[in-house]
Amino acid sequence: MDIKIIASRNCDQRRVLQKRFKKINVPIVTLFIEEDPELVQEFDVMETPNIVINGEVVYRGNAGKPLPTIPELLRLMERKRA
């Protein structure tokens, strides 16, 4: 399973997501929009962080939206396995 976090370098929520994935021993790749600006258009990034599983955005960050909990992350991954 290919899991990416797309975020800006100063995104505090990115760090929280990284810790949650690490806690459940799921390898991820973190991509930064400052280093790879074409990601903004490719994945229609408006705010960060975004979670991409197998090429599909499954979570879009939003200032008023809570981050997925560990059980929610597990459900997102399970849906992409099916």
Report how many domains make up the chain: 1
**Look-up: residue for tokens 């597990």?**
74
- Band (pLDDT 50/70/90 cuts) for residue 80 is confident
- Band (pLDDT 50/70/90 cuts) for residue 82 is low
Q: Report H helices in 1-82.
A: 12-23, 38-42, 70-81
pLDDT digits (tens, 9 = 90+) for 8-52: 999 999 999 999 999 999 999 999 999 999 999 999 999 999 999
CATH number at residue 62: 3.40.30.10
23-27, 64-68, 72-76: least confidently modelled range: 64-68
Q: What is the pLDDT of residue 21?
A: 98
7-35 burial, b at 16+ Cβ within 10 Å, e below that, comes to beeebebbeebeebbeeeeeebebebbee
